[in-house]
Amino acid sequence: MSLTVLIVDDEPNIRFLLEQSLEELEDDYGIMLLTAENGRDGLEMIKEHQPELVLLDVMMPFMSGLEVCEAVREDPVLKDTTIIMLTAKGQVNDKDHGMEAGADLYLTKPFHPTMILEKVLEILTPKLSLV
């Protein structure tokens, strides 16, 4: 069994940057990286793969990141999934909405790739010892 991280963002460049930022997790720890390009597909992948961690954009087609987050929190099977909202919406009330929807962490774009890698490792390290 390996750990899984899902990146859900409608911007191809952001998905690519996040994949590049986290690719050493695949090499060093065997963590599987998955991507989805909209909220609806992201929620389907969360249900199918049950990732340990989701990096989730807020503003996406078909289903917003807030709606995805709420759906995950309402599902007893998925409720323990760690969700990091990663979005350009950086106002205080935006962060409040993200946290109310059930996000574990709310980070704003632009972001530094090293910081994302550090946060992901911080979250996954305790789980790595269980695998």
pTM of the model: 0.91
Alpha helices in 4-62 (DSSP H): 12-29, 39-49
pLDDT digits (tens, 9 = 90+) for 95-104: 777 778 889 9
Residue 109 lies in a domain: yes
Q: Which domain holds residue 12?
A: 4-126
Tokens of 28: 């060093």
Q: How far apart are CA 20 and CA 31, in angstroms?
A: 13
Q: How far apart are CA 23 and CA 32, in angstroms?
A: 9
Give SS3 for 83: strand
> How crowded is residue 52: how many other Cβ atoms within 10 Å of its Cβ?
21
Residue 36 lies in a domain: yes
Q: How many domains are contained in the chain?
A: 1
Closest CA to 42 of 20, 69, 22, 23: 69
Residue 85 lies in a domain: yes
CATH classification at residue 25: 3.40.50.2300
Closest CA to 54 of 82, 28, 33: 82
Residue 131 lies in a domain: no
Residue 71 lies in a domain: yes
pLDDT digits (tens, 9 = 90+) for 62-87: 999 999 999 999 999 998 899 999 87
What residues contact 125, with CB distance under 8 A and at least 6 apart?
none
Residue 81 lies in a domain: yes
pLDDT digits (tens, 9 = 90+) for 12-65: 999 999 999 898 888 888 889 999 999 999 999 999 999 999 999 988 989 999
Question: Is 128 a residue whose pLDDT tops 80?
Answer: no
What pLDDT was estimated at residue 27?
A: 83
